Structure 1
Amino acid sequence: MKKWLSLMLICVSPFVSAEVTDLPSLQQQLAKSIIVRGDFTQSRHLEMFELPLTSQGRFTLSKSDGLLWQQNTPFPVNLVLTENKLRQTFSGQAPQIITAKENPMAFYFSHVFLDVFHGNTDALKAQFEMEFSVSEGQWTLLLSPKQPPLNAVFKHIQLTGRDDIDKLVLQELRGDKTEIQFSNQTSQPEELTDAEQAQFSF
């Protein structure tokens, strides 16, 4: 579960350019756009390795359809997450499909993190202690899980940005850390392309 979970965590919601001064204004910005597309660079820092494991690719996040996560380097990985299904395809292999009925815990994690990026603070308050701050135009949101199963895995989740979410850090209790840098985020076009829609049809 953790192999694909680390992949699907790489999503982001866009911000219309506006001043974010507190948690309610951040929530409004996170919840605005219907579709978000962008690039990502992920660095996975493992205690057992000196150098981080780095990957890059593109993502599409749709409020109505789900998450399309396309890793390009160091090897192709295609992941599609909907409300109740997950399809993952590794280079040269047949697609694997997991349903919410088959693995409810995996989808619990998935939906919690999608709540983070959609700005669903009502749901997040039940799962996290939230600390918000702003310094020189850059905001930071620190989420500390307060109940199982999240607090058995993560020490905290930190998001930082200005007009967009620029960086996400997942700090695990055992010392491993995942850092994701986002770039080129856009909410245009506001509908899925035919190719994107085909990815969600399974």
Structure 2
Amino acid sequence: MKFNTRAMFCAGVFAAASSQTVIAAPINEVRDIFQQVSATPVVHAHFEQQKKLTSLNKTYVSKGNVVFSKQQGVLWQMQTPVQADLVVTPQKLVQKTQRTMSQINVQQSPYGSVATLFLQLMAGDEKGLASNFNIVSATHNNQAWAVTLTPKSSLFKKLFNQVNVQGGRYVNQIVIQEKDRNITQIRFSQQTSQPQNLTAQEHALFQLAK
């Protein structure tokens, strides 16, 4: 079955690389930020995505819930404008609706690279991000932090221009600058580390991407 990029809210995050001088962020700042994010094994949150398409002068909004599990991956449960579950693991992406299910191999599709970015950000995977991105700026204090990423690998240069991430204990916002001045912004709210165990339904959905 063809993978439905309309229902998969994080698909289509494509951007052209920008030419700029890369200045690395302070190592200690970066390490502190990602250690803070990676300290929580399970996070439940509400998300709202706004995708601004400059050429059409339109903004598309998606809302739902997200579950991050360091051991399993990320489960996006979109509620509006359509209901769909998107399961992201290091190996696969699985999209499930009430009537259909489709999957792709992360290594065999550009959409896998988009999903990998979200997985690495929410996991605080400093090593994984560093293999694909330059961390050009990082600020951190007791309450909040911010990181700016630009693509390093040739694949990600074809997909992204710049990624800005903000957070505290958890990732609070991801802003992706895309081709043709399009912007994707994802905001997280109502984050909690409880319950630490997945529900039977959440566990079953993650099993679909094994």
Q: Tell me if TM exceeds 0.5.
A: yes
CA distance in 1, matches of 2:82, 2:150: 32
| 1: CA distance, partners of 2:193 / 2:116 | 21
Determine which of 56, 61, 72 is the counterpart of 2:63: 56
Quick one: distance in 2 between partners of 1:160 and 1:104?
27
Q: Read off the aligned partner of 1:173 and give its amino acid letter.
A: K
**1:15 aligned partner:** none
Distance 2:106 2:79 in 1: 27
Structure 1 stretches of 4+ moved >6 Å = none
> What is the one-letter code of the residue matched to 2:121?
V
* Structure 1 residue 58: Cα displacement: 0.1
The one of the two structures with greater contact order (alpha-carbon pairs below 8 A, sep at least 6) is: 2
What is the aligned counterpart of 1:6 among 7, 10, 22? Answer: 10
Consecutive unaligned residues of structure 2, counting only runs of 5 or more, are: 14-27
The C-alpha deviation readout for 1:73-115, integer Å capped at 9, x for no partner, is 111121112332222124x5311122346x2544344224312
Is the aligned partner of 1:178 residue 2:173? no
**Which residue is 2:101 aligned to?**
95
- After TM superposition, give the deviation of residue 116 of structure 1 in Å: 2.1
Q: 1:193 to 1:94 in 2, by over 3 A?
A: same
- Matched residue, 1:86: 93
Distance 2:119 2:112 in 1: 10
Task: Count residues in correspondence.
Answer: 189
1:113 aligns with 2:144: no
CA distance in 1, matches of 2:143, 2:44: 23
Does the alignment pair 1:141 with 2:147? yes
Q: TM-score, normalised by structure 2?
A: 0.79
Contact preservation (8 Å) 1:8, 1:79: no
- Tell me how large the CA RMSD over aligned residues is: 2.5
Structure 1, unmatched stretches of 5+, are 10-20
The one-letter code sitting in structure 2 at the alignment partner of 1:113 is F
Deviates more, 1:113-122 or 1:28-37: 113-122
In 2, are the aligned partners of 1:138 and 1:161 still within 8 Å (CA)? yes
- 1:52 counterpart SS class: strand
Task: Work out the CA distance in 1 between the residues paired with 2:40 and 2:183.
Answer: 29
Aligned residue number for residue 123 of structure 1: 128
User: CA offsets per residue over residues 99-154 of structure 1, 9 Å max, x none?
Assistant: 346x2544344224312221221222222121102489542100011231111221
**Residue equivalent to 1:22:** 29
Q: Which residue of 2 aligns with 1:38?
A: 45
Equivalence for 1:14 = none
2:45 and 2:170 map into 1 onto residues whose CA distance is: 11
Structure 2 distance, partners of 1:85, 1:138, is 32
Q: Matched residues in 1 for 2:12 and 2:31: separation?
A: 26
